Amino acid sequence: MSLPAAEHLRQRHGSRELWKDVDRCFTKLGGHRIIGDSSYWLRTQPNPAPRNKVDKFMVIGFVGGHVDDFNRAGDLKNEKWLEIRQAIDKAYKWGTMKTQSFRQTGIDLEVVEKKGVRGSPS
């Protein structure tokens, strides 16, 4: 598919502006970008039971994206993460959230409680 140059620049600029906004929003909420991928941010907190002197922090959640997917995951028992999650939900409008059983890129997926996601080719 070929796009006119102006449309191509507009689409690229819009995407860049989204990630700049996500950076401002999540940084304001205490997140920081990970090294090696500028489209993912972690939110950490002090580790109450460090195993060694470098184990000072633990991840409580993250946000990020790839192509047209916005990913968010975290500890649903952590009050601070739940506050951050609510702030993210207020800041952005979401499309359809897929739950339980659904098809993604030709693979049938099923959410299995406490076990993650199970997939099988169609």
For the chain, what are the domain ranges?
5-91, 97-122
Give the mean pLDDT of 95-115. 69
Amino acid residing at 60: I
Please give the CATH number for the structural domain made up of 5-91.
Answer: 3.30.310
pTM of the model: 0.64
Q: What percent of the chain stands above pLDDT 70?
A: 70
- Residue 113 pLDDT > 90: no
Using the predicted structure, report yes or no on whether residue 75 has a pLDDT greater than 80: yes
Q: Which residue has the higher pLDDT, 84 or 17?
A: 84
Name 70's Cβ contacts closer than 8 Å, sequence gap at least 6: 63, 64, 92, 94
